[in-house]
Each structure stands twice: as C-alpha cells, then as structure tokens.
Amino acid sequence: MADKPNLESAYALETPDDSRKLYAAWAATYDTQFADENHYILHEQVARHFALMGGFGPVLDVGAGTGLCGEALNARGIEPVDGTDISAQMLEVARTKGCYRTLFTGNILTRLDVTPGIYQGAVSAGTFTHGHVGPEGINTMLEAVRPQGWVVFSVNAAHYQAAGFADKMAQLKPFISDYSATEARIYGPKATAPYADDMAILIAFRKA
C-alpha cells in the first residue's frame, strides 16, 4: 500500500482489514485530496438517479464514507438518510456534516445489523468497484429495502462483467422490477489522467 492513500491504493485492496486500514488513514483528507482534486462526481450521479427514479426516504447509504452521497441526497430533499461504512473514521467525518439520521459501522459482505425491509430505498456510490465489494453485497441492500423500494448503486464499468455483476443481476430478475443500467461518468470535466474518463454503470431497480 502506498504511503499516501490514493486511488491506486483503493483499487489494490483485497480484504476488509485492508479497507479499514486504508480509509482510517485517508478519512481526514479524502474529500480534499481525492474528491475535490479529482472532481469526483459519482455520488452526485447516484443521488440524482435515485431522485429521478422517484426514490424517497428513509434511505440507507451503503459505503457512506465521508458522507458525500448523503449530502447529495439531502440537497435533493431526500431524507432521512442512514449511513453505514466499514470505516469508523470515515463515518466520523460524515457525522460532522449533519446529513444523516444515524451512522453505523458495518460490512455488507457479512450482513448489516438492520431490520429487513425497514428502508424505502438504498443507495451506494463507489463501493462496488476494484478491490472493494463484489456482487454478493447486493443481497444485503435488497434485504434492507421494503417491497417496491428503489435500490440505486454504481458499479465501475471496467469491473461490471469480469466481477460477475451482470450475472448477478440476471439471477435477481425474479425478485426485482423496473431494472435499468445506465452509464455515467465517475469524474467531472476538470479531472485529469489516468482516470479522468472512467465510467460507472448505475444500476437501478425496485424490490418486487
């Protein structure tokens, strides 16, 4: 892992402990040294898409990190929002922004400590990507949402086929409705190489 946390460090993650260590070190500077410097806009894309789909609260933000997606949801009048992340340090930054009703640590690969069906919707921006969470995490989001609730999350486009997301969505078809997959930019026009042109796929569906 690099001495200074960066995107290469994030893409190289292999275990939950790797994630905890990286984001503990990155939490204090993530917004300024990553999101702002790289013109990161994926959280805005996810929040906008959730709103366009007609999503509303209460919402669970999975992989909430420093609260970027929570802020974007609140800016669109969507609340209350609860957030969960594997990194307690990232959530402490999110807590200072006042955009969440509740924040709690959790690992979506081992199930979350939430009542099934308690949320009207669930979102996730930047969690399903290289070195982070694979398609098995989708089940946890689906379980947290009540019937007819919207789930909207991003998947790194380069990761989508190879990591099994397409196959997973095909398996879930009997349990969901109104499925769509839309390409979206991860970074804005001010971003520079090597990741400036990276794309995400925004997955949206309703729980049947």
Domain CATH number, residue 132? 3.40.50.150
Indicate whether 1 belongs to any domain.
no
User: Does 160 map to a domain?
Assistant: yes
Question: At 11, is the pLDDT very low, low, confident or very high (cuts 50, 70, 90)?
Answer: low
pLDDT at 2: 45
Answer yes or no: is pLDDT of 167 > 80: yes
Stronger pLDDT, 22 or 156, i.e. the higher one: 156
Would you call 45 exposed, middle or buried from its count of C-beta atoms within 10 A (0-12, 13-18, 19+)?
A: buried
Domain assignment of residue 125, given as a range: 7-207
Q: How far is the C-alpha of 139 from the C-alpha of 176, rounded, in Å?
A: 11
Mean pLDDT, rounded, for 44-64: 98
pLDDT for the residue 9 = 59
In a domain, 56, yes or no: yes
Instruction: Check residue 195 and give its pLDDT.
Output: 83
End-to-end CA distance of the chain: 42
2 found inside a domain: no
* C-alpha–C-alpha distance, residues 30 and 126, integer Å: 13
pLDDT at 96: 97
At residue 16, the pLDDT reads: 62
Which pLDDT belongs to residue 31? 83
64 near 97, Cβ under 8 Å? no
Domain count, the chain: 1
pTM: 0.91
Please check whether residue 39 lies inside any domain of the structure: yes
The mean pLDDT of the chain is 90
Q: Which pLDDT score, from 0 to 100, does residue 32 have?
A: 85
Contacts of residue 10, defined as CB under 8 A and 6 or more positions apart, other chains included, come to 22, 129, 130, 131, 132
In the structure, what pLDDT confidence band is assigned to residue 137 with cuts at 50, 70 and 90?
very high
CB distance 73 to 99 below 8 Å: yes
